[in-house]
């Protein structure tokens, strides 16, 4: 907000103590509407979108409620439109498809626009100390209140704008706490509080929200720190199960799912498919390395170098299949450095990099 890079302080908009004071229904509503898994709110509260940075003296004023930030009318409309398309509204009770997380709502330049609303005389001096932006026509929706459809008074556009990386959900949650506890005098901020009320209602927090998560989501097991659990984007290219421990092979990450639906997790389907893969006697991985080095004029591929560094421990089911194939001739396409799928990164490289397993010919 100030443009400074030194002497800054961070303020956490929704304090983690909220999880202690809130009811389970309140938490599940927010997690459902915000596209989080059960227990995911705790992780969001410790993430950068829930923090805001100010010059230290201004941060103290903000924490004390001497001014508030509220989304511009344009930011409000975009946030409401995103929420309608996030996938949590008007769903069937047995619909387990993913929802869009709130952090997917992010402007192309990475910052959101908020109206600076001073409450105290000291806060009204802040615009004289730092440079703030004037509202554009888009910021105040061309003079029409998007919540009521009524014309706005000209003075509404006189309020200045600041930009921040903090998410509107956190900004609005903190603003509500301040507005409910702080006497703000004669200032009229209904052009923004009328939007704030509707924002809270649709985004799943506040006393007037009507969001009702399905029962399977409320009952789902919460994520804890020692869970082997990755988001779908993080899990791409990783084998989530620990090798060498058969007891872990039945443990599947349990985010936003029901224990009564076996097909609600992609990893569950992988394990089911894995049971159908023929199991053959394993051979040491070194046999594969020996065969690979016997190829004439062949520089060891990255996948082969990775294989040579694998620990000498009990293999996972995927690696058992890989080891059993090491005694057979390597596929013809492995011996070339052609253009499938690229001239530098073959299918076998991809399989080893993503799954720690070599591709092989189907058994005849």
Bridge partners of 53?
A: 10
**Residue 327's closest CA among 281, 265, 266?**
281
For residue 81 the two structure tokens come to: 């439109």
Q: How many whole angstroms separate alpha carbon 29 and alpha carbon 217?
A: 10
Residue 137: CB partners within 8 Å, gap ≥ 6? 143
Q: pLDDT at position 147, please?
A: 94
Look at the chain and report how many structural domains it folds into.
3
Is 328 found in the same domain as 191? no
Domain assignment present for 361: no
Is 137 found in the same domain as 67? yes
**Residue 38's closest CA among 274, 239, 218?**
218
Q: How many whole angstroms separate alpha carbon 85 and alpha carbon 202?
A: 12
Is 301 found in the same domain as 230? no
For residue 298 the two structure tokens come to: 């062949």
Q: Contact 228/245 with Cβ under 8 angstroms?
A: no
Q: pLDDT at position 232, please?
A: 52
Q: How many whole angstroms separate alpha carbon 162 and alpha carbon 72?
A: 10
Q: pLDDT at position 64, please?
A: 93
Is 145 found in the same domain as 76? yes
Give this prediction's pTM: 0.62
Q: pLDDT at position 2, please?
A: 52
Is 212 found in the same domain as 86? yes
List, in sequence order, the alpha helices (H) in 309-346.
Answer: 317-324
Which residue is associated with the tokens 């026509």? 137
Helix axes 190-203, 73-84, angle to 10 degrees: 20
Q: pLDDT at position 124, please?
A: 94
Domain assignment present for 160: yes
Q: pLDDT at position 209, please?
A: 87
Q: How many whole angstroms separate alpha carbon 347 and alpha carbon 358?
A: 9
Q: pLDDT at position 356, please?
A: 65
Structural domain ending residue among the three candidates 166, 200, 216: 216
Q: pLDDT at position 286, please?
A: 44
Please say whether the dihedral angle defined by the alpha carbons of residues 191, 1, 41 and 90, taken in this order, is positive or negative.
positive
Q: pLDDT at position 182, please?
A: 83
Task: Supply the range of the domain harboring residue 238.
Answer: 224-274
Which secondary structure element, helix H or strand E, spans residue 10, and what is its range? strand 8-12
Structural domain ending residue among the three candidates 197, 216, 235: 216
Q: Contact 128/193 with Cβ under 8 angstroms?
A: no
Q: Contact 264/239 with Cβ under 8 angstroms?
A: no
Domain assignment present for 3: no
Is 48 found in the same domain as 105? yes
Q: pLDDT at position 287, please?
A: 41
Is 29 found in the same domain as 172? yes
Domain assignment present for 280: no
Which secondary structure element, helix H or strand E, spans residue 55, and what is its range? strand 51-55
Q: pLDDT at position 158, please?
A: 96
Q: How many whole angstroms separate alpha carbon 212 and alpha carbon 288?
A: 55
Q: How many whole angstroms separate alpha carbon 193 and alpha carbon 172?
A: 10
Is 47 found in the same domain as 172? yes
Bridge partners of 116?
A: 69
Q: pLDDT at position 263, please?
A: 47
Domain assignment present for 363: no
Mean pLDDT per block of 10 residues along the chain (364 residues) reads: 71 93 92 94 95 93 95 97 91 88 93 96 93 95 95 96 97 94 83 95 89 89 54 49 47 44 54 66 44 46 48 41 41 48 63 67 45
Domain assignment present for 139: yes
């Amino acid at each position: 907000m100030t443009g400074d890079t030194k002497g800054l302080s961070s303020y956490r908009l929704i304090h983690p103590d909220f999880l202690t004071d809130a009811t389970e229904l309140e938490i599940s509503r927010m997690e459902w509407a915000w596209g989080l898994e059960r227990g995911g709110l705790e992780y969001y509260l410790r993430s950068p979108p829930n923090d805001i940075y100010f010059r230290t003296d201004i941060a103290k004023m903000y924490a004390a409620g001497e001014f508030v930030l509220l989304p511009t009318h344009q930011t409000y409309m975009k946030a409401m439109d995103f929420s309608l398309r996030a996938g949590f509204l008007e769903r069937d009770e047995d619909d387990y498809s993913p929802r869009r997380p709130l952090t997917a709502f992010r402007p192309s330049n990475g910052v959101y626009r908020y109206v600076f609303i001073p409450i105290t005389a000291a806060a009204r001096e802040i615009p004289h100390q730092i440079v703030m932006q004037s509202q554009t026509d888009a910021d105040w929706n061309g003079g029409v209140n998007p919540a009521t459809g009524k014309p706005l008074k000209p003075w509404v556009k006189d309020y200045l704008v600041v930009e921040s990386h903090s998410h509107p959900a956190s900004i609005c949650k903190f603003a509500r706490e301040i507005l409910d506890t702080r006497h703000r005098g004669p200032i009229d901020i209904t052009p923004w509080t009328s939007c704030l009320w509707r924002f809270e209602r649709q985004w799943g927090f506040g006393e007037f929200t009507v969001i009702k998560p399905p029962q399977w989501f409320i009952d789902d097991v919460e994520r804890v720190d020692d869970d082997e659990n990755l988001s779908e984007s993080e899990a791409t290219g990783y084998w989530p199960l620990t090798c060498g421990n058969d007891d872990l092979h039945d443990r599947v990450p349990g985010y936003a799912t029901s224990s009564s639906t076996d097909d609600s997790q992609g990893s569950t389907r992988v394990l089911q498919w894995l049971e159908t893969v023929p199991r053959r006697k394993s051979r040491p991985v070194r046999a594969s390395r020996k065969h690979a080095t016997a190829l004439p004029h062949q520089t060891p591929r990255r996948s082969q170098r990775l294989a040579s560094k694998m620990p000498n421990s009990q293999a996972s089911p995927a690696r058992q299949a890989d080891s059993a194939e090491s005694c057979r001739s390597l596929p013809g396409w492995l011996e070339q450095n052609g253009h499938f799928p690229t001239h530098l990164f073959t299918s076998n490289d991809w399989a080893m990099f993503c799954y720690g397993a070599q591709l092989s010919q189907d058994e005849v």
